[in-house]
Amino acid sequence: MLILAIVAAFVASLILTPLVRRFAFRIGAVDQPNYRKVHTAIMPRIGGLAIFGAFLVGYLLLRPEDSHSTGILIGASLIILTGFLDDMLEITAKAKIVGQLAAAIVVVMWGGLQIEFINLPFGGQLEFGYLSIPITIIWIIGITNAINLIDGLDGLAAGVSTIALISLSIMAVIMGNPFVVATAAILAASSFGFLFFNFHPAKIFMGDTGSLFLGFMISVLALLGFKNVAIISLIIPVIILGVPISDTFFAIVRRIRMKQKISAPDKSHLHHCLLRTGFSHKQSVLIIYGIAALFGLAAILFSQATVWGSVILVILLLLAIELLVELIGLAGANYRPLINLVRMIGR
């Protein structure tokens, strides 16, 4: 039945996306090119409606059971509404945060999803108590916006999200969580179907309607799969989401170094840096797909490793990320502490 739901979601995405594209032009939900954007033509930008619709087709066909499901669907609907309003009216950043906060609160308070404690690797538990609610909300909003921030090239957010969802589904199989397996797989199929129209050269953008929805669902599914477990296992979703988390983290570092507002927009995200390095639009997207897939593979290896093996893997990942950041200038042109250290040692 799961296979049928996955196929139904994929086919529904292929059918719904052209319909949503025509609807977007009819209601004026289009993205105008400007100095910050890569595209040069007017593009429809509410493609997230097609992803959401396709997901509902597969989800309602299978009806996976979980105590959190009602809260998740209501929260997802609020996120879709927030993204749609932004794509239509370009609402303020504060209004977008209010919508995301409302969706997160629904999942936490109504759906009952909270990170209440983690098991420490050498015995004992770390109880979060009253902090469990704000920690959970911050995670959901943070990952939601991380996916939103990487939505800068044709097919980038859809592809990275699909890879992350497949990785989450595989990890959920290993950890024995059938609800996350089913929901992540259905959503991955919906996103993959949309990618046929969104890959370069794109015929439609997912807009905030899609990027906020995918980010929200990925953040929630990651929590469902890994909450209240060992601290080592809690790192797994962070590794799976390594691309959007790293891009967001170094965007903050970059803006602090440049003495800019953290929320200030710029053209120095990972995809912008790859384009400046000389890679084409399509090559940049495929490189980031490869990085996302490597993060997913690393998460699977991490889950099967010993404690010390996990520590070594994390250190190697951090060194690799830092080296890439310095080579392409993700944190700023003059940010090269690791390369300078290696040169100093070499002398």
Residue ranges for the known binding site for Mg(2+) are 148, 208
The 3-state secondary structure of the chain reads CHHHHHHHHHHHHHHHHHHHHHHHHHHCCEECCCCCCCCCCCEECCCHHHHHHHHHHHHHHHCCCCCCHHHHHHHHHHHHHHHHHHHHHCCCHHHHHHHHHHHHHHHHHHCCCCCCEEECCCCCEEECHHHHHHHHHHHHHHHHHHHHHCCCCCCHHHHHHHHHHHHHHHHHHHHCCHHHHHHHHHHHHHHHHHHHHHCCCCCCCCHHHHHHHHHHHHHHHHHHHHCCCEHHHHHHHHHHCHHHHHHHHHHHHHHHHCCCCCCCCCCCCHHHHHHHHCCCHHHHHHHHHHHHHHHHHHHHHHHHCCHHHHHHHHHHHHHHHHHHHHHHCCCCCCCCHHHHHHHHHHC
Give me the count of residues in the chain. 347
For residue 332, count other CB atoms closer than 10 A to its CB: 17
Binding site, annotated residues: 148, 208
30: left (phi over 0), alpha (psi -120 to 50) or beta: beta
- What CA–CA distances, in Å, run from 258 to 317, 324, 327, 336? 26, 20, 18, 15
- Which of these, 183, 133, 144, 184, lies nearest to 163 by C-alpha position? 184
Contact at 8 Å (CB) between 234 and 118? yes
